[in-house]
Structure 1
Amino acid sequence: MAIVKNKTLSGLLAAIIGFGVAPAFAQDAQPVTRAQVKAELMALEQAGYNPAYSHGPDYPADLQAAQRKVAKKQAEAVQYGPSTNGTSDSGAR
């Protein structure tokens, strides 16, 4: 059972490294470290992805959805200026 889990985990990690969650990894010539892979996996799990179900019928779609959530969160974290969420009123009283 442990061998199957290790193969599943290593397959998942290979997929993450191959597809690259962060766009910056696709442009770097440096190899990805184990810590980076673990951080990416944790980010995907926080976004709702469960690696235990990687062989289910929703496998590609749920991984891609989690990748989009992580990418959106990373993009929001690097934006400058005030938050654009909320409402504003204009006009005369």
Structure 2
Amino acid sequence: MCSAAHHAVAAESLPVQVRQATDAFFADQRHWVAGVLAEAGMPATRTGAAAEAYLASLEGALLLARAHGQPDSAAGQDRDVVRSVAATLL
């Protein structure tokens, strides 16, 4: 799980500037993923929601890997799940 995800979890207890920076980070990530999906041929009307779903799946997979005591780099099965989710989005 990335440090921005840690900030997102604790958002209510963080200073406004940190919350805004965290939101901006995820907005940038959504924008980038939406661009990749558009380049892959997804209609523009679907890229925003699909990017959100992909990032939620990715962060969730990383969170579950941590919960199961697996370091991020050892989350092979979780990567397969994220790839499967990504494939359904296209």
Question: Shorter-chain TM-score: which interval?
Answer: 0.3 to 0.5
Structure possessing the higher radius of gyration over alpha carbons: 1
Q: Which has the higher helix share?
A: 2
Q: TM-score, normalised by structure 1?
A: 0.38
Q: TM-score, normalised by structure 2?
A: 0.39
